[in-house]
Amino acid sequence: MSGVETLRVSHDVAVVHTTHPFVIARGGTSEHRLIRIRVTAHDGTEGWGEAAPNRFYGETPDTALAALARLAPIVERCDPWALEHVEAEMNAALRFNGSVKSALSAALHDLAGKRLGVPLYRLWGLDPARAPLSSFTIAIAASDDELRQRIAQAADYPVLKVKLGTDRDEQIIRTVRAAAREKILRVDANAAWTPKQALAMIDVLADCGVEYVEQPVAAQDLDGLRFVRERSALPVIADESCVVATDVARLAGLVDGINIKLSKCGGLREALKMIATARAHGMRVMAGCMIETSLGITAAAHFAPLLDYADFDGAALLTDDPYVGATIARGRIAIPDGPGLGVKQRGID
């Protein structure tokens, strides 16, 4: 079936800004460069996708553009319906570079859905009403006052995800809990703790009624993950340790759940495979995002009905989101019901 038609792949770079500098344990910034990808079929139908390259996973906007130059020809000569094969070919051509592969995968899925006239969630047999609530992220603030200000701005969100991994983690989580007494709190340490620090902090987190802790220890420290999980009062979710589906298999028995991100895993199909593998092992499944526009967020939102936990606030943190797609008003994920991803440019009907 390959060579049935040819697609054209084009791209540009979008610069977007967060309301506050988005700081996590590894640092942060308020300006973010994203690669927008467009696949165009002969009949003019377009599929859209977005890459949010992240240095932790070896990507920058420049590596993403270079990877795109390598991967675009594969997409241009592929059978656009044979999505399984396209993802496999991209993986065979170039390892890692998950954000670019996911953007191309999203664009092809968008195209397929548009051609069939159905939203992606329907193509996948999912009920959009079954998406869990999304959390809203409280990044690392410079002071307690700033922290309280952010919590106040997040008043509409019933679930907060608190970034830790500082020298004043206990102070942060107690401040958040005091300012948000009724909310569900989750914590993401972004690999910042040693296993022993993690256990000490988890006692504090449990005392504050935190729901789970994400990536307490270094990404490669699987023994540390197991050590923490076996002693932890809270469920442990792997994020930086869990990039693709084979990682889920490797982590089975070591953690309680996984966090999927399209920018890590390299494709919408890979994300679904991660979910299937995790479920077969009885693991919990979360999905998250980077700082992304509504275009990037929406690609992940379409599989939200398969998740236990979602953290899809990447676009909600922006001042200048160029797209309208999935929304998370008061934590509720509304997946657009237009064909494909169902994403539109803001201000254009």
Is residue 252 a contact point for its own copies (CB under 8 A)?
yes
Is residue 3 a contact point for its own copies (CB under 8 A)?
no
b/e per residue 17-53 (b: at least 16 CB within 10 A): bbebebbbbeebebebbbbbbbbebeeebbbbbbbbb
**Residue whose C-alpha is closest to residue 266's, from 69, 70, 100:** 100
Is residue 255 a contact point for its own copies (CB under 8 A)?
no
C-alpha–C-alpha distance, residues 333 and 305, integer Å:
10
CB of 245 to its own copies, least distance (A): 4
CB of 78 to its own copies, least distance (A): 10
Is residue 26 a contact point for its own copies (CB under 8 A)?
no
Is residue 347 a contact point for its own copies (CB under 8 A)?
no
Task: Map residues 55-94 to x or -, x wherever contact with its own copies holds by CB under 8 A.
Answer: ------------------------x-xxxxx---------
**CB of 31 or CB of 337, closer to its own copies:** 337
CB of 248 to its own copies, least distance (A): 6
CA neighbours closer than 13 Å in the CB half-sphere of residue 111: 28
Is residue 226 a contact point for its own copies (CB under 8 A)?
no
Is residue 308 a contact point for its own copies (CB under 8 A)?
no
Contact with its own copies (CB under 8 A) among 23, 41, 94, 123: 123
Residues paired with 284 in a beta bridge:
257
Per-residue tokens: 43: 């009949």
Is residue 249 a contact point for its own copies (CB under 8 A)?
yes
Contact with its own copies (CB under 8 A) among 126, 192, 225, 236: 126
Is residue 96 a contact point for its own copies (CB under 8 A)?
no
Beta strands in the chain (DSSP E): 8-24, 27-40, 46-51, 136-138, 159-163, 184-188, 210-214, 236-238, 257-260, 284-287, 309-310, 323-324, 344-345
Q: Read off the DSSP letter of residue 331.
A: G
Is residue 128 a contact point for its own copies (CB under 8 A)?
yes
Q: Which residues touch 166 (CB under 8 Å, ≥6 apart)?
A: 25, 140, 172, 192
C-alpha–C-alpha distance, residues 35 and 106, integer Å:
13
SS3 per residue for 112-171: HHHHHCCEHHHHCCCCHHHCCCECEEECCCCCHHHHHHHHHHCCCCCEEEEECCCCCHHH
Task: Map residues 256-295 to x or -, x wherever contact with its own copies holds by CB under 8 A.
Answer: -------------x--xxx-xx-xxxx-------------
Is residue 306 a contact point for its own copies (CB under 8 A)?
yes
- Polymer length of the chain: 349
Number of residues that bind its own copies (CB under 8 A): 38
Is residue 335 a contact point for its own copies (CB under 8 A)?
no
Is residue 5 a contact point for its own copies (CB under 8 A)?
no
The window from 33-41, 56-64, 132-140, 241-249 that contacts its own copies (CB under 8 A) reads 241-249
Per-residue tokens: 134: 């999304």
Contact with its own copies (CB under 8 A) among 216, 266, 305, 336: 305
Give the footprint of its own copies on this chain (CB under 8 A): 1-2, 79, 81-85, 112, 116-118, 122-130, 245-246, 248-249, 252, 269, 272-274, 276-277, 279-282, 305-306
